[in-house]
Structure 1
Amino acid sequence: MASTKPTSVRLSEEVERLLAEYTDSHGVSKNEVINTAVSTLLEDWVDIREADEAYRKWVDSGMKEYTHDEMWQKLGVD
């Protein structure tokens, strides 16, 4: 299991109320909900960065497109 590090956040009264309502109704801890939400946000952010980088490389390559057959050949798959 990965090690964890404590972090403090300040929530508005409304967010705190909704968080408590959610955790009570789903039987999970605030830590689980916040960790899942932040992890999901960061995973999406990493995916977007990687997609942006792939798009940049594609544009830099002159936006070359390949057929399936050309791509299989380029990858050395027969």
Structure 2
Amino acid sequence: MSPVLYGLRVHADPNVVRVTPDISDYRKVTIQFDFALADGRDWIGQSQGIPIVVDREVAPELQGRTIDFRDGDFVLI
């Protein structure tokens, strides 16, 4: 099952999965373990109990989108 971002909000937990859109291909994203920034730049969703963090500026573009793993890349569908 693919993770879906729901209800974005500010996040304080330092242990998160960061989703970063690829600027060269808007359909691809990078997934990595990270720490949420405490300066308000990060917003969070949750999928199956896992905190998912995205940069506040791109959060609206990702809200409600599904991330899938296809042909060696994480992609938005």
Q: Whose RCO is larger (CA < 8 A, sep 6+)?
A: 2
Larger radius of gyration: 1
State the TM-score, normalized to the length of structure 2. Answer: 0.21
Q: Which has the higher strand share?
A: 2
Q: Which has the higher helix share?
A: 1
State the TM-score, normalized to the length of structure 1. Answer: 0.21
